[in-house]
Amino acid sequence: MYLDALASCAELTTEHAEEAARSSTSLRVLLNWAADIARPGEGGPKVLMVIARLAHAEWFEGTPYVEIRGDDSTTALSVFADHGMGIRERVVPLARLRVGFDEFARAVRLAPQLIAPFESTQRGDAIFLTPPEASTESQRGGHEAIAIDDRSLHEQERKTAPPPPPTSTAPPATDAPPATPEQSGVHTHPTVRRMVAVRPEALRRGTDDGD
């Protein structure tokens, strides 16, 4: 491998950076190599040349977003793909280099061409690298302004009109008792069938005649 002949990160060239940025696999290989070989004062920040090439890498999906965090002895590099709407995907595993964070911060400040075309923002013990268009979108709030139609704006409050009169033809309600239905020729009472009354004397008389 081309990295085997290198004794330190200081020997990295632009050709090495172009080769390492050709795919996620080659990028992972270089970061793993740097994590093993990097030492303070031996050009550790030169690995940022590789990350800078991601701005134009054809295989990279989304917007590159890089976080550099660390302390006096270690610096961690995180490479993300920003897909918008707050969705970020880690492209390669986090790489830890045994180089102090101040060495990276000084290199980014004194040699901005090392990370071009990325722009850097430092907040505390962290440096963020983003393409110029991402920085512009962040300043705009990340969203396009929403225009309000002039027709929805009124100088005065809208007056409330009374409800329209009812359209029903039903007669108005009154307190008068309901009208009695008209009598018709139809008999509406239950029919009682008339039965012939038989007196007991007549029954006895009929029995006596039979005797």
The predicted-structure confidence for 69-127, as pLDDT tens digits, reads as follows 999 999 999 999 999 888 999 999 999 999 999 999 999 999 999 999 999 999 988 99
Tokens of 33: 């190599």
> Is 188 a member of any domain?
no
> Is 172 a member of any domain?
no
Amino acid at 39: R
> Is 115 a member of any domain?
yes
Token pair 């004194």 is found at 110
Q: Report the number of distinct structural domains present in the chain.
A: 1
139 SS3 class: helix
> Is 167 a member of any domain?
no
> Is 201 a member of any domain?
no
> Is 106 a member of any domain?
yes
> Is 152 a member of any domain?
no
Domain boundaries, position 91: 2-139
- Model pTM greater than 0.75? no
> Is 168 a member of any domain?
no
